[in-house]
Structures are given as C-alpha cells and as structure tokens.
Chain A
C-alpha cells in the first residue's frame, strides 16, 4: 500500500519537471508537449492514488480525464495548425 504512495511521489516529481518545461518553454509547441506530458502523468497519478486508497471508482475519473485531455490537446493542435476550417 505504501509503495503506491512512493510511486505517486515519483510521478509528481516527473510532473514538476514537465511544469518546468511549461514555464521555460521558448516556443508554443514546447508548452503544448509539456501540457500533454503533464496530462498523461496526472492520469498515471490518479490511477496510482485509486490503488493506494483502494477505491475502484476513482479509476473512472482517470478514464474521463484521459479522454478529455486528448480532446484538449487536439483543439490546441488544430488552432496552431491554422484554425477551424
């Protein structure tokens, strides 16, 4: 059980590093890639915390977050590509 919390801490450190890229990123695509990485790490953290607290229903929120973060990245990519045409 405590191993899951250590894994969450590791994922959190990785998330902090991607937030660093988000702040420092010189161009916009750098920041988009940083957000995408952070989304995936947040999904991993949610699933690990669901296992750590022993609640299966927390996995549902991770699935919803994974689906909607994909749409968010797609919207930014479409905007950078040249807008809604």
Chain B
C-alpha cells in the first residue's frame, strides 16, 4: 500500500498490540479475555500483512515458531488445568491455597488460574489466526 498507510500502520500496530494485551491481561476484570484479546492482536498482524505486503510478511513470519507457540498455548492451558489434579480436573488450586494470584477479588493478581489461562488462550488465538491468514495469503493458484 501507499506511504500514508505504511506510516499509519507503523503507529497503529503497537497501539493495537498493547490494547490487545490489555484485554488479555484484564480478562477476569473487564469485558474480553483470551479469545477477544488474541483476535485483536491478530488484527495487528493482518494490518502488517495488508500494509507492508506479502514479501515483508514472508521475511518476518516464522512458520515453525508460530506453530510451536500455538501448541505451547494449548499445553499451558491444559497444564494449568491439571494443577489441582489431587482434588479434581480444573480445580482452581491457585485461588484456594496457591502461592500467587490469590489477591483480593477485583485486583489484577486475583482469580487463581484464570489470568494464566487467558494468556494461554490469547497466545493460541493470536498465533493460530496469524498463521491461518498468512497461509491463505500465500495461496497463489487462482489462475488454475
């Protein structure tokens, strides 16, 4: 795209990234959460792909890294769910008797495993959506 779009994207991509991270981190306090924040950060990735083109995206995008990070997000979700396995699956042991994340309800470091799960889902959604859209953009066989 043109110069104005590229310059605006340089300003807007960090803004979208920071706002999406805010949505993910405050998922247990305000509207939003893992999926919404992850989709917002993926919007920054799509803006990069649209504004700077596929050639620049090919240089910056690493398929193996994104694939590994998506798996890591899912594994972190499951691992946190297994923390309280001595009582039950998905037992929120961090909230009931954990060392961290058991502050007063309404503060950032509260709600047990929910912030960790939001971070895991946000990472998974961001890497998954960016990988899917880059793969679609790389598909170049519309001429038969």
Contact = CB atoms under 8 A, between A and B. Distances in A.
Q: Do they bind each other?
A: yes
Contacts of B32: 60, 64
Contacts of B12: 67, 70
Interface size range on A against B: 10 to 19
A84 interface: yes
Nearest to A74: B50
Contacts of B137: 84
Given A60-B31, A61-B31, A67-B15, A78 B40 contact: no
A75 B50 contact: yes
A80 B135 CA distance: 21
Main secondary structure, interface of B, reads: helix
B53 interface: yes
Nearest to B15: A67
B53 A85 contact: yes
B132 interface: no
Contacts of A68: 40, 43
Given A74-B51, A78-B50, A84-B54, A67 B30 contact: no
Contacts of B50: 71, 74-75, 78, 84
